[in-house]
Amino acid sequence: MRQILDRLKQRKVIHWAGAYLASSWLIFEVLQGLGDPWGIGDETLRWAQLLLIAGLPLVLVVAWFHGARGAQNVSGREVAVVSGVTLIMAGLVWTAAPRTTDGPAPTPADRVAASRPSRPNSLVVMPFRDLSPLGDHAYLASGISEEVTHLLAGVPELQVISQTSAAAVSNRSDLTVPEIASRLGVENVVEGSVRVAGERVRVTVQLVDRWDARLLSETYEGSLDDVFALQDSVAVAVARSLRGEVLTDLARLQRANPEAYQLFLLGRHINQQRGEDWYTRSTELLERVIALEPGYVPAWIELAIVHTDWAFLDPAQAHDARREAREATERALELDSTSAPAHGMLSAMLHPHDLEGVVREMDRALELAPRDPEMLMWAGLTLQWLGRDTEAIPFFEYKVRHDPLDYLSLVNLGLANYIAGRWDEAERVRRLAQAVQPGTQSAALGLIAIQKGDLDRARGIFEGFDAASPMRDMGLGVIAHREGRTDDARVHLQRLSAALGASNPPLVALGYALVRDREEVLRWVGRLDEETASLGGGLPLSTRPEFAWLDGDPEWIAFRERVGQSPERLAAVEFSPTLPE
């Protein structure tokens, strides 16, 4: 062993190896640094890694023969060794190298959007990559891309896809820009990266069209204090590249001090990711933001969103969470009466006790943000709360056009079609939602099959639920009743009552409505009040098609009047939202 080490030192093999490794590291760092400005993609970087690794054995062989003597003559043995090593390394590179194929099998979400037609001046801003040395600024990269999206969405001449759908395809490293554009139905794709080193930040952005032609490639640098200016610069550059000039001033985001803004982005990021202990962590961060910047409206709105989400997920703390959400929303409006999101949130909070207030706040939100897909979705929900489901459908369709891979948007559209009695369209949209979130079970598809009279298909859907699932019992009970097996139907619906009677009486009433059991329906709705007489999302129980057979029943009419859902009460509320042209 000693002799081998001496020979290696004599021939300077270790020196050559060290020099080669240092040079390789430097070359790769330079390639990474030039990646975004020069359009060097991930596949090129992988090739560079493989080739640099493959070159190491060749350098060691050359060093063995030439390191000590610097000999220039090449012996036959040397040629044979170098050739053998070259062939071996070439084989290894070929085995490990990235290569294009016909592509992986499309995912269900791919099939949802694969044939979406593109629209002029449409774009999506993909979540920016975090290229910081420690990879610890993903929240900042995500936040910047989201804020750029908001800025561009304010330009009427542009059609901007939501960050929700952008995130749905961002994890697919196998997708090219043209494929992303095709799946989301856009003409242009914005990609970018953020690199933070100390107090300096560098934002690199590319705008590429659906034919893979680069329209913009810019790098912006500054301190962490300059993040707002960097976001504005990116948005202005993209808008100008598409329109030649910005025809409408970009909306100006409210500024906050750098520390507060970074905490805000981190708190929002944690809320969106929904990791461990997300509620406590995000609320603590947002409260720190407010302590630093009491007048920063986005922090109050995000805090209201966090509390609202928690109220749905934890019934035990729902009362306190809703109170906190209401206080945060009202504080946001005290600070800025022109905040469309705050008016939209307050509108939802006033339901169902104050329908006039619901409409008043929603009208104001739409006046402030007439093209905002989120506000227009809430307008659709307001129409549903008023029992006007057919009118709500175009508003949900608008939201889906701007957020084609958002599960909740598809669910809302499917439900509106279901309540309106459009079974085929409801089924089509609900299957798209299931494709976006593979593995989710959909009782809605089973109910649609029942409404269409396809009991065998409905049975297959409900039997796919866990044996202890109340939804399984509801579906199989209704099917048994339709098939004349009344004893089996009774057993299933009694199980449904036992499982959900205390926590979800409206769903129990729905099960009995599907088998037209008047006494049981009236018994269960008798437990409800104005606050609880609704199914998911606050939709009025009485306007569901499953209860239509009770419309002339005096006790049903009395129930609707008692909970504020009488046809006269709902029709008296004036609400006439319009969609942008």
- Whether residue 149 is predicted with pLDDT greater than 80 in this model: the reply is yes
Helix axes 177-184, 163-170, angle to 10 degrees: 140
Rounded to 5°, angle at Cα 116 from 112 and 118: 150
pLDDT value of position 409: 93
pLDDT value of position 402: 92
Coil, strand or helix at 382: helix
Worst-scoring range by mean pLDDT, 11-25, 84-98, 164-178? 84-98
- Whether residue 73 is predicted with pLDDT greater than 60 in this model: the reply is no
pLDDT value of position 481: 96
Strand partners, 204: 193, 219
> Are residues 121 and 160 both part of a single domain?
yes
Q: Which two tokens stand for residue 412?
A: 């809302």
Cis peptide before 352 (omega within 30 of 0): yes
pLDDT value of position 59: 61
Q: Residue range 133-139: average pLDDT? A: 87
> Are residues 125 and 241 both part of a single domain?
yes
Q: What is the spatial distance between Cα 154 and Cα 236, in angstroms, rounded to a whole number? A: 12
- Whether residue 284 is predicted with pLDDT greater than 80 in this model: the reply is yes
Q: What is the spatial distance between Cα 119 and Cα 126, in angstroms, rounded to a whole number? A: 17
Q: Which two tokens stand for residue 170?
A: 């961002």
Domain that holds residue 189: 113-253
Does residue 158 fall inside a structural domain?
A: yes
Q: How confident is the model at residue 99 (pLDDT cuts 50, 70, 90)?
A: very low
Q: What are the pLDDT digits (tens) for 540-562? A: 888 888 999 999 999 999 999 99
Q: What is the spatial distance between Cα 559 and Cα 565, in angstroms, rounded to a whole number? A: 8
Rounded to 5°, angle at Cα 321 from 316 and 322: 110
Q: How confident is the model at residue 315 (pLDDT cuts 50, 70, 90)?
A: confident
- Whether residue 452 is predicted with pLDDT greater than 90 in this model: the reply is yes
pLDDT value of position 183: 87
Coil, strand or helix at 493: helix
Q: Domain boundary at 64, 96, 128, which?
A: 96
425 contact partners, CB below 8 Å, separation of at least 6 = 417
Helix axes 42-66, 76-96, angle to 10 degrees: 160
Does residue 509 fall inside a structural domain?
A: no
Does residue 347 fall inside a structural domain?
A: no
331-340 long-range Cβ contacts below 8 angstroms, 24+ apart: 331/300, 332/297, 332/300, 332/301, 332/304, 335/295, 335/297, 335/300, 336/254, 336/297, 338/368, 339/297, 339/301, 339/368, 340/364, 340/365, 340/366, 340/368, 340/369, 340/372, 340/375
> Are residues 122 and 181 both part of a single domain?
yes
CATH number at residue 182: 3.40.50.10070
Does residue 118 fall inside a structural domain?
A: yes
Q: Are 358 and 552 in contact (CB under 8 A)?
A: no
pLDDT value of position 36: 47
Q: Are 161 and 148 in contact (CB under 8 A)?
A: no
> Are residues 126 and 246 both part of a single domain?
yes
> Are residues 75 and 161 both part of a single domain?
no
Place of tokens 């007048």: 295
Coil, strand or helix at 399: helix
As for how many domains the chain has, the answer is 2
> Are residues 121 and 88 both part of a single domain?
no
State pTM to two decimals.
Answer: 0.76
Q: What is the spatial distance between Cα 455 and Cα 492, in angstroms, rounded to a whole number? A: 16
> Are residues 199 and 155 both part of a single domain?
yes
Q: Residue range 377-384: average pLDDT? A: 94
> Are residues 61 and 155 both part of a single domain?
no
Coil, strand or helix at 119: strand
Q: What is the spatial distance between Cα 297 and Cα 328, in angstroms, rounded to a whole number? A: 9
> Are residues 164 and 91 both part of a single domain?
no
Q: Where is 580: in which H helix or E strand?
A: none
Q: What are the pLDDT digits (tens) for 521-535? A: 999 999 998 888 887
> Are residues 127 and 212 both part of a single domain?
yes
Does residue 355 fall inside a structural domain?
A: no
Does residue 366 fall inside a structural domain?
A: no
> Are residues 200 and 238 both part of a single domain?
yes
In order of 178, 396, 410, 420, 548, the CA distances from 112 in angstroms are 16, 17, 11, 23, 33
Q: Domain boundary at 37, 68, 96, which?
A: 96
Strand partners, 191: 206
Smallest Cα–Cα separation from 533: which of 555, 560, 558, 554?
560
Strand partners, 189: 124, 208
Q: Are 457 and 475 in contact (CB under 8 A)?
A: no
Q: What are the pLDDT digits (tens) for 326-358? A: 999 999 999 999 999 999 999 999 888 899 999
Q: What are the pLDDT digits (tens) for 22-42? A: 666 666 666 665 554 454 555
* Side chain identity, residue 373: P
Q: Are 433 and 415 in contact (CB under 8 A)?
A: no
> Are residues 85 and 131 both part of a single domain?
no
Altogether, the residues listed in the chain come to a count of: 581
